[in-house]
Structure 1
Amino acid sequence: MNAKRQYFKLNEDDILGIVSDYLSTQVDFETFKSRLAFVENEDNEYRIIAAYGELEDESIDEIDFEVLDKTLKFNGERSTMPNEFQIEVTNPEKNAILQRLITTLDLESNE
């Protein structure tokens, strides 16, 4: 079987760009200044810390992301979502549930 595939290999700038584009839709500023960076903890786990502020906020350039990392709690959509609501599309059981929900929503929207 020759399944179609697409491969992606993203460097640090690609990843930060994607995250920045997404997060810019979540902020309440019409124009803004932002800064994002990767941070590594003592367990060699990586995360992205992002700061958004008003366009005139020059202090964003002075933020120490490693210090900020120690004070912030995770606040991304997936990290704050209860486990029972997270859908792993590679899990056949959860995938079947998701497909049933999609079908139900499609049927209801067409009524």
Structure 2
Amino acid sequence: MNPKHQYFKLSEDDILGIISDYLSEQVNFGTFNSRIEFVENENNEYRIIAAYGEIDDESIDEIDFKVLDETLQFNGERSTMPKEFLIDITNAEHKAKIQKLIAKLDTELNDG
């Protein structure tokens, strides 16, 4: 491993905790009740659904996250990013840039 790099290996709880901490800063509740979990769809794609409400709102425990997954639109910073900022791996120019970065990372990892 390259000593100039920092590496992270995160468990499901780590990931959910980080996201929950981030999202809690986005909500307009001083104190709140929340629930967050991974949801998998029929294409084996994972996403995270989170619900926040008033501290005494116990209805959050009854929310069906699979239903939310089917009805909510993505609303994260990256999923709502303008398309010109997204990488399209079918685009030859984008693919060449990605391959160059992969080769550079591979070299760095193998030299370290």
- Name the TM-score, length of structure 1 as normaliser: 0.73
SS at match of 2:30: coil
Deviation at 1:85, TM superposition (A): 3.6
Moved over 6 A (4+): none
Name 2:36's counterpart in structure 1. Answer: 36
Q: Which residue of 2 aligns with 1:67?
A: 67
CA distance in 2, matches of 1:40, 1:19: 17
Query: What residue ranges of structure 2 are gaps of 5+ in the alignment?
Result: 88-96, 99-112
TM-superposed deviation, 1:4: 1.0
CA distance in structure 2 between the partners assigned to 1:3 and 1:29 by the alignment: 42
**CA positional deviation for 1:72:** 0.5
| Equivalent in the alignment of 1:19 | 19
**Which residue of structure 1 aligns with residue 10 of structure 2?**
10
Distance in 2 (CA, whole Å) between partners of 1:4 and 1:12 is: 26
1:50 aligned counterpart, secondary structure: strand
Counterpart CA distance in 1 for 2:23 and 2:15 is 12
Task: Please give the alpha-carbon distance, in whole angstroms, between the structure 1 residues aligned to 2:30 and 2:9.
Answer: 32
Superposition CA RMSD, Å: 1.8
Q: What is the distance in 1 between the residues matched to 2:37 and 2:10?
A: 15
TM-score, with structure 2 as normaliser: 0.73
Q: What residue ranges of structure 1 are gaps of 5+ in the alignment? A: 93-111
Structure 1 residue 86, shift from structure 2 partner = 4.9
Give aligned pairs, total: 88
**What is the letter of the counterpart of residue 16 of structure 2?**
L
The structure with higher relative contact order (CA 8 Å, sep 6+) is 2
Percent identity of equivalent pairs = 77
